[in-house]
Every structure is written in structure tokens, then in C-alpha cells.
Amino acid sequence: MKTSTPHPLRPAITLFILLGVLLGGLYPLLVTGLAQAFFPQQANGSLIERQGQVVGSELIGQNFTSPAYFWGRPSAAGTFPNNGMASGGSNLGPTNPALKQAAEDRAKALQEADPDNKGAIPIDLLTASASGLDPHISPAAAEYQAGRVARARGLTVAQVRALVRVNSEAPQWGLFGEPRVNVLKLNLALDAAAPLPKTEAAK
């Protein structure tokens, strides 16, 4: 008596459907549900709100140009700074003249905004990050800008430095990374301490 042999495609199709349901449906739902239950802030983009309005994310830098605000890390992401759709660095090698020119242009902009500041410019204010979206600067980079921001805000340098200290973050668990300052959070703290006219605050 002949026995029927299953079609060789049947197990493959069955496995494809099962894995599609499991990995394409049930697993994402489980992970999303756990994230929303235990880490809702992070799962929803680590958004920052001011007066009920979302003004940015803790994870993505913003392009501040007004002397009254701290400036963040330069961005080489796409055609405009901090473009989340074009995350990436400049890919310029250390011997590329364009990299040197970009650093010189950034140094010139900082010096023009604060001509009396003769201090050495921290490297993270001159070079773009690998992601192009870095929301942090070093405490040294914030300190370099403290005098300019204080004058523009009508605050003392000591007051601005105190805000920098409050908004500084230590290395993760005291071990990983470097001390850093979230620029958006620091600028929001400045707005709370010494509000600017709306036309100036939009810059």
C-alpha cells in the first residue's frame, strides 16, 4: 500500500506562518506592553514638556544660535542640524581640509558671539558627534559659554554656573561614559530662571 508523502513546501509554509505570528505579532506586542508598563517615559521617546507642550527629547539635540542660550554639539546630520532622519557624522578623515575648515568656522562663530572670552574652546564645541544628534555637551563646554549666557540673560556668572551644576549628569552608575550636560534641559532651566522675550526665546 502506498503512503502519501507530505508536500515538501508544507512544513516550510507552516513554519513561516507560525514564526510570522510569533515574531511579527506576539513578541512585539509583549515587548511594547512591558515597555509601556515599566518604562513609559523612555518607550515614548524621552520627550520633554514645558507648560503642557512637547519641546523636544532628551535624546536628540537642538540647534541653538542665540547668545542667550547654551549651544550644543555641532551636527553633521543631513542638510539641517540634528536631523533625525539623517543621523550620521561627516565621515571626514583627520587629514581632510574640510574637517579643519569646519572646526575653524565653528571656532569663529563662538569667538564672534563672545569676543572677550580668551579661553581654549573645548573640542566638543568644534567637532560633530558620530550620530549628529548628540543632546549633551561636556561640563567644560558649558563652562566656556557661561559668561556669554550670563551677560545675555542679565544673570551673574555664578548663577549660570549653578544651573550648569544642577543640570549636569554623572557617568552612568558612576562607571560608564563621561560627565555631561543635557543642553535642552539646561536652556529650559535658564528660561525658568530668567525668561526672555518670545522673539528671542524662539532662536
Instruction: In whole angstroms, give the CA distance from residue 95 to residue 169.
Output: 33
> The C-alpha cell of 105 is what?
568656522
pLDDT for the residue numbered 30? 86
**Amino acid (one-letter) located at 27:** Y
Asked whether residue 146 carries a pLDDT value surpassing 80, the answer given is: yes
> The C-alpha cell of 29 is what?
506586542
pLDDT for the residue numbered 122? 95
Task: Name the more confident of 52 and 68.
Answer: 68
Which tens digit of pLDDT belongs to each residue from 26-67? 898 889 888 887 877 777 778 887 878 888 888 888 889 999
Which tens digit of pLDDT belongs to each residue from 79-116? 778 887 778 877 788 888 988 998 999 999 999 999 99
pLDDT for the residue numbered 33? 84
pLDDT for the residue numbered 124? 93
Average pLDDT, the chain: 86
User: What does the DSSP 8-state code read for residue 61?
Assistant: -
pLDDT for the residue numbered 43? 75
pLDDT for the residue numbered 203? 57
Q: What is the 3-state secondary structure of 32-44? A: HHHHHHHCHHHHC
Q: Which of 166, 105, 178, 99 is nearest to 136 (CA)?
A: 178
Mean pLDDT of 20-26: 90
Mean pLDDT of 137-161: 94
